[in-house]
Amino acid sequence: MTPIRTSLIWAAAFILLALANRFGLIADKDATTMFAVLPALWVATGGLGLSCRPKAVA
């Protein structure tokens, strides 16, 4: 999956979370927790585009 598509999926998750909170589908305390957890998940899944693997030397 391209980085742009992955970023759009994460952005959609944030927007859907905000809308669910706005319309009362998710309680405020739960939404607050998810707004703290989602960025951590994004970084943990490589959201910064950085890799811990060393680059292969030819």
Give the model confidence (pLDDT) of 13-43 as tens digits. 999 999 999 999 999 999 999 999 998 888 8
pLDDT, position 24: 94
Three-state DSSP class for residue 52:
coil
Q: Is 50 contained in some domain?
A: no
Q: Is 28 contained in some domain?
A: yes
Q: Is 52 contained in some domain?
A: no
Of residues 42 and 3, the one with the higher pLDDT is: 42
Q: Is 34 contained in some domain?
A: yes
Q: Is 21 contained in some domain?
A: yes
Q: How far is CA 1 from CA 7, 9, 22, 57, in A?
A: 10, 11, 30, 25
Instruction: For residue 27, give its domain range.
Output: 3-44
d(CA 33, CA 17) in angstroms, rounded, equals 11
Matching residue, tokens 């890799």: 51
Q: What's the number of domains the chain is made of?
A: 1
Q: Is 22 contained in some domain?
A: yes
